[in-house]
Structure 1
Amino acid sequence: MERIKKIFRLIHLSLWGLFTFLVGLQLGSEGDTHWLSTTAGFVATCTYVFYTHFYVLTRYAGKRGRRGYWLSLAGVLLTGPFPFLFFHHKALATWSLFLNYYGMQLLSTVPVFVFLSWLARVTETLVVNTIRKEQLEKQAAETELHYLKSQINPHFLFNTLNNIHTLVYKQAPAAPEAVMQLASLMRYMIYESNAATVPLSREMGYLRDYVSLQQLRYKNSPVVDLQIEGETDSCYVAPLLFIHLLENAYKHSPARLEPGDLKVRVAVREDSLAFSVQNPIGKHVAKTLDEPGGIGLPNVRKRLALLYPDQHSLTIQNTGETFTVVLTIRGLHSQTHERKAHLLHH
């Protein structure tokens, strides 16, 4: 906000400097031998009226009692012409000249700059309030994103610890490796996911680790068929964006999965990304699919609305035997630059 105030001060100085130059130029071109004193008096009256009324508007802004404002305004109007009279070489020569110049400034110059000061105050207040509102909305969005992200971590950690507990209970040789994989996943979730965006290749590495950890539950060959098309290093996405979709695919699938039952496809084409996950529907969760995708889908929808407004689509298809979620994000590269520019602006 201090930066905005500095910009307004610079605008004020620039406009008053230009105004003084133009007034002096005009009076000098008219052959006025006293153009310097006349310019000084005229500009002094203008600045006095402008900033005195500007201060009065600031002091009485939002107050119910208007008596103080109207009394102050009357004082500004009546005293406004005096700076001009003080500098003018003839204004104080006789009483008639004094009244003549006083009335001229009171009726012409003073009302104009009272209005301009009011207009400047309204404009500055509008700009400051708009920027403050944008900052509050941004803070609210960041707070909600943080809350939504915090919902992801405990839910995922709870499921994963259950899996590792089973391995340890059975004294499975894969238990130490599972602990190391969990450490890698938590490192990504706690540290790397704090960034606004991460390379898609890193997010896919996180999903691969997750799939490897989940595979410990199954004796069959890999139950996830993961295929990635396109260049993932140059594509950036919000972290932890796909984990709920994949996690729910596991959750709402039958207890026994055959190799390749869960199909995950990632396709990067120019500046768009398509992520899809398909799983067979387990009979034991048929009643819980009133909200497609389970409890994680509302979370994903909120994050997408905050991170990629008007640049994404989320489609659901339930055939009764398979459940498919397709997420498409458009303008990924431009969205990354726009988000950085938005953060710098604020």
Structure 2
Amino acid sequence: MKFFLKYYKVLVPITLWLFFLFFSIRVFSQFIAFSDAIERGFLLIFLYVSIYYFNWFILVPRYYIKKKYLIFFAFIFILIIVSSFLRILIANHYELNLHTLNENPLIDSVVLKKAIGSFGISFFVLASSFLVRIADLYTKQVKQKELLIQQKTEAELTLLKAQLNPHFLFNALNNIYALVLTRSEFAADSLISLSQLLRYIIYDTSVEFVPLEKEIKYLKYYIELESLRLERKDNLDIKISEMDSNYYIMPMLFIPFVENGFKHSDINKDGKMKIHINMHKNELEFICENTYSLYEKNVDSVGGVGLTNSINRLDRMYHDRYNLEITDENEFFSVNLKIQL
């Protein structure tokens, strides 16, 4: 079926011509010489192929598509008349030498009967040309629309990534700057973690999907980077199960949610933060929860550019294959994301 849909505009006319040629030779070789039957068949094929592709390449695109219907149907009528007249001339040329012509009911020399038959064949050929051509144009339009939608989606995703990466880098550099100011012994380690993350962002996230294992690997780098400045690491609950190497996921999906949690949590003030990632068959579940204080941290509202961009990317890449629940109440923020991979 896929093969036919791909090559229908070639297969349909070839099938039509071969059937017509075989039928013509098979029938008329009984009443005229076989060589004459072949010659007659090929002349008629040339006639109908000519009107078929004249309609395909000239009439439909120049007149029908441009809504010049009167001119289009006028040309169709003229083509039917001319091709019918030529068919009768070709038929009579080979049948005049046949003394048994009028004795066989399959080949009647009555002009009216021949005219009706010729009109019918010409109409069928032009109708086939018209329908196949319209189907071809419609298919091209659908593919073009799909391509435009795909290009638009890719452009939007590229823009979102371009916004996301500087946003992530800005926050990471702020964290390292704080470590350097306090002369922390972890500043050097944080730079190494950041370099690994930057390598991932620059070289691996330009594609639509990356291996799930790789995304998890660099998420752990980010968690290590954030954990360096924590005073109460025992308040951080991390559980990440083993991932199937056959699954792929959208790059930089988890980091904005985790970044948001670290940014707003009060984990250094007896608060709590939890990051759990599990696989159930082909369903990935990501949970990120944190407590926060509205009064102890001078930060902007929970959420932000990275979080908003991640939600927009989820909508574009996974559509109805994901479920995202975000809860923000009583100084407790929770993200529960489930994706069908």
- TM-score, with length taken from structure 1: 0.80
Amino acid at match of 2:41: T
Match status 1:283 vs 2:294: yes
Deviation at 1:300, TM superposition (A): 2.1
Amino acid at match of 1:49: I
1:57 corresponds, among 45, 56, 60, to 60
Match status 1:269 vs 2:280: yes
Deviation at 1:209, TM superposition (A): 1.1
Is the CA contact (8 Å cut-off) linking 2:290 and 2:332 kept in structure 1? Answer: yes
Is the CA contact (8 Å cut-off) linking 1:198 and 1:237 kept in structure 2? Answer: yes
Alignment-derived partner of residue 322 in structure 1 = 332
Alignment-derived partner of residue 335 in structure 1 = none
Structure 2 counterpart SS, 1:241: coil
Match status 1:202 vs 2:205: no
Deviation at 1:282, TM superposition (A): 2.0
Are the structure 2 counterparts of residues 247 and 287 from structure 1 closer, same or farther at C-alpha, using a change threshold of 3 Å? closer
Deviation at 1:184, TM superposition (A): 0.9
List alignment gaps of at least 5 residues for structure 2: 98-108
Distance of 1:92 and 1:68 partners within structure 2: 36
**Rg bigger for which structure?**
2
Alignment-derived partner of residue 308 in structure 1 = 318
Alignment-derived partner of residue 226 in structure 2 = 214
Distance of 1:14 and 1:110 partners within structure 2: 16
Deviation at 1:123, TM superposition (A): 0.8
Deviation at 1:288, TM superposition (A): 6.3
Is the CA contact (8 Å cut-off) linking 1:281 and 1:320 kept in structure 2? Answer: no
Distance of 1:265 and 1:105 partners within structure 2: 77
RMSD: 3.3
Is the CA contact (8 Å cut-off) linking 1:27 and 1:39 kept in structure 2? Answer: no
1:212-234 Cα shifts (integer Å, max 9, x gaps): 21123323336532101243433
Q: How does 1:220-299 map to 2 (within 5 A)?
A: 220-221=232-233, 223-254=235-266, 256-258=268-270, 261-284=272-295, 293-299=303-309
Distance of 1:231 and 1:255 partners within structure 2: 28
1:5-58 Cα shifts (integer Å, max 9, x gaps): 983553245424542454246515865545324433443333232222222112
Structure 2 counterpart SS, 1:218: coil
Q: Sequence identity of aligned pairs in percent?
A: 26
Deviation at 1:308, TM superposition (A): 1.4
Are the structure 2 counterparts of residues 28 and 286 from structure 1 closer, same or farther at C-alpha, using a change threshold of 3 Å? farther
List alignment gaps of at least 5 residues for structure 1: 333-346
Q: How does 1:82-161 map to 2 (within 5 A)?
A: 82-85=85-88, 87-90=90-93, 100=112, 103-161=115-173
Structure 1 counterpart SS, 2:238: strand
1:39 corresponds, among 16, 34, 41, to 41
Alignment-derived partner of residue 342 in structure 1 = none
Deviation at 1:246, TM superposition (A): 0.8
Are the structure 2 counterparts of residues 184 and 48 from structure 1 closer, same or farther at C-alpha, using a change threshold of 3 Å? same
Are the structure 2 counterparts of residues 271 and 31 from structure 1 closer, same or farther at C-alpha, using a change threshold of 3 Å? farther
Are the structure 2 counterparts of residues 199 and 107 from structure 1 closer, same or farther at C-alpha, using a change threshold of 3 Å? closer
